Amino acid sequence: MASRRTISPALNLLRQGAGGLGAAAAGAGRVLSRPCAAHFHLLSSTRSQNFAPATQAAAAASALTKPAAPMNCRMYSQQADSKIWNFEDIQGLIQGSTRNVVLVDVREPGELKSTGHIPHAINIPVTSAPDSFHITDEEFEDRYGFLRPSKDDEVVFYCKAGVRSRAAAGLAKEAGWKKVGEYPGSWMDWAGNGGKIER
């Protein structure tokens, strides 16, 4: 009997949100996760039809957007013990009214170059470096050029739409951070409400 490898719920959420079902991750053409058997059947059934590769991808994407019967795939949910931040909370944070809080943008560096980021946020990309809260302090500083937030600090994560930030919050909790927050509206909410942008 083959043993099953246990995957962290936070890492599994990251894989599902940022690249599940065989989608390319952040436009880099990398596949982050393998589809489960039901998804494989769906994708392979579109391949069995005589479509060109681009049409195969469009057919698979089209099939995934239609309501379907529940698949026999295990989905993980995050624990809801992160502090939830909203637009006004983040505005107060960047205006200096909240101390010992570190705002962490978990999007990829290319995303930040094209859009900018919330003022005072540091960038720790979770998709390309999900181990950032598990490596040593020295490795972290070598990788990013700044000190990792202390376990005494509250860390608040945001991304583009809230999926990767939830995964990053879970990874930080697994690594021992206790004061973890999420901004579920993330960049889309911030930019949509006219929040200040730093480039």
Catalytic residue numbers, as ranges: 159
For residue 91, how many other CB atoms are within 10 A of its CB?
A: 16
Scanning the chain, the segments in alpha helix (DSSP H) are 9-19, 37-48, 53-65, 87-94, 109-115, 137-144, 163-174, 186-192
> Nearest 10 degrees: CA dihedral of 163, 166, 171, 173?
180
Helices 53-65 and 37-48 meet at what angle, rounded to 10?
Answer: 130
9 close to 76: Cβ distance less than 8 angstroms? yes
* Calpha distance 165→13 (Å, rounded): 10
* Calpha distance 109→97 (Å, rounded): 27
